[in-house]
Structure 1
Amino acid sequence: MSDDLLPYSGDRLAQARAFSGLTDEALRVRAVTAARDKAFEDLWALTLAYLTTETGGGVRLSPHTLRAYRKGIEVLVDHARDQAWNLLHPARREPSLYVTGLTALGLKPATVQARVAAAVALYRALRWAGATDADPFADVKRPKDRTKGIVKNPPYRSDFVAAMLAEADPHERALLLLLTHAGLRIAEALAVEWRHVDLERRRLLVAHGKGDKARRVPLSARLRDALTALQAEAGAAASGRVLPWRAYSTAYERLQKLALKCGREHEFRGFHAGRKYAGTQLYAATRDFTRVAGFLGHEQVDTTRRYVEVPEDDLDDIVERFS
Structure 2
Amino acid sequence: MTLAPYQGDLLAQTREWTNLHDEELRRRAVRAAADKDVAALVSLTTAYLAHQGGSGVLTSPRTVEAYALGTRQFAEYAAAQALSLLRPGRHDAQGYINHLLAAGRKPAGVQLKVAAAGCLYRALRWAGATDADPFRDTKVPKDRTPGIVKRPPYTEDELADVLEHADVHAKFLLFLTAHAGLRISEALALEWNDLDETAKRLHVRSGKGRKGRVVAMSTSLARAARHYRGLYGPGGPEHMDGKRTTPSDHLFRYGHVMTARYHIGKAFALAGVDFRGFHPGRKYAGTRLLRQIKDFGRVAAHLGHESVDTTRKGYAQLAADDLKDDLMGW
CA contact under 8 A between 1:62 and 1:187: conserved in structure 2? Answer: no
Equivalent of residue 281 in structure 1, options 281, 288, 293: 288
Deviations for 1:50-102, whole angstroms, at most 9, x for unmatched residues? 11222233344334333322222121111111121110220111111111111
Change (3 A) 1:66 1:321: farther
Q: CA deviation at 1:216?
A: 0.8
Name the structure 1 match of 2:260: 251
Q: How many Å apart are 1:195 and its aligned residue?
A: 2.0
In structure 1, what is the Cα distance between the partners aligned to 2:141 and 2:71?
Answer: 19
Segment drifting more, 254-263 vs 310-319: 310-319
Selected match of 1:58 from 56, 62, 70? 56
Contact 2:186-2:207 at 8 Å conserved across structures = yes
* TM-score normalised according to structure 1 size: 0.92
1:313 aligns with 2:324: no
Which of residues 82, 85, 100 is equivalent to 1:84? 82
Once the two structures are TM-superposed, the CA of residue 18 in structure 1 deviates from its matched residue by 2.8
Q: After alignment, is 45-54 or 150-159 more displaced?
A: 45-54
Quote the residue 1:157 is aligned against. Answer: 155
The residue number in structure 2 matching 1:210 is 208
Q: What are the Cα deviations for residues 3-62 of structure 1, in whole angstroms up to 9, with x where unaligned?
A: 99xx93321111112322222222222211111110111111111111122223334433
Aligned counterpart, 2:167 = 169
State the one-letter code of the partner of 2:317: E
Q: Report the CA distance between 1:200 and its aligned residue.
A: 2.7
> What amino acid is the match of 1:249?
M
- Residue aligning to 1:93: 91
CA contact (8 A) 1:209 1:297 kept: yes
| Residues in 1 aligned to 2:318 and 2:152: alpha-carbon distance in whole angstroms | 11
Contact 2:78 2:84 in 1 (8 A): yes
- Alpha-carbon shift at residue 222 of structure 1 (Å): 1.6
Check if 1:292 corresponds to 2:290.
no
1:112-149: per-residue Cα shift (whole Å, max 9, x none)? 11111111111111122222221110110012212111
Q: Normalised by the size of structure 2, how large is the TM-score?
A: 0.90
Q: Secondary structure at the match of 1:311?
A: coil
Out of 217, 227, 230, the residue aligned to residue 225 of structure 2 is 227
SS in structure 2 opposite 1:8? Answer: helix
1:142 aligned residue: 140
**How far apart in 2 are the matches of 1:290 and 1:91?**
46
CA distance in 2, matches of 1:311, 1:193: 36
**Secondary structure, counterpart of 2:142 in structure 1:** coil
Partner of 2:32: 34
Measure the CA separation in 2 of the matches of 1:39 and 1:321.
70
Question: Paired residue for 1:24?
Answer: 22
Q: Which structure 2 residue ranges, 5 or more long, are not aligned?
A: 241-247
